[in-house]
Amino acid sequence: MLPDWLGLLLMGVAAASGNFLFILAFERAPAATLMPYMYAQIGFAMLGGWLVFDHVPDHVSMVGIGLIALCGTAGGWLTVYELRQKTS
């Protein structure tokens, strides 16, 4: 029982630390620059689901996940491109 609680505590500390680091990153860089890293969470969540729970999303889910990540990343790249066009 104690290892379970320690694991939960470790996950909570890791999640809080990660979110705090993202807050610091948003203070130093525009959101469009950081959003591709947020979409990388989808891939790591799928990897964790496969390794821990032996679950792989079906094809329809993969298409939806890919579409969400592609649109979000493209929006970020377009924002950065527009900002660079304005400054030059």
- The predicted-structure confidence for 57-75, as pLDDT tens digits, reads as follows 999 999 998 898 888 878 8
Residue 36 CB burial class (10 angstroms; 0-12, 13-18, ≥19): middle
Tokens standing for residue 20: 């705090």
Cβ(43)–Cβ(57) below 8 Å = no
The pTM assigned to this predicted structure is 0.58
The arithmetic mean of pLDDT across residues 27-52, rounded, is: 84
The Cα–Cα gap between 53 and 76 comes to: 32
The alpha helices in 1-88, defined as continuous H runs, are 2-28, 31-53, 59-87
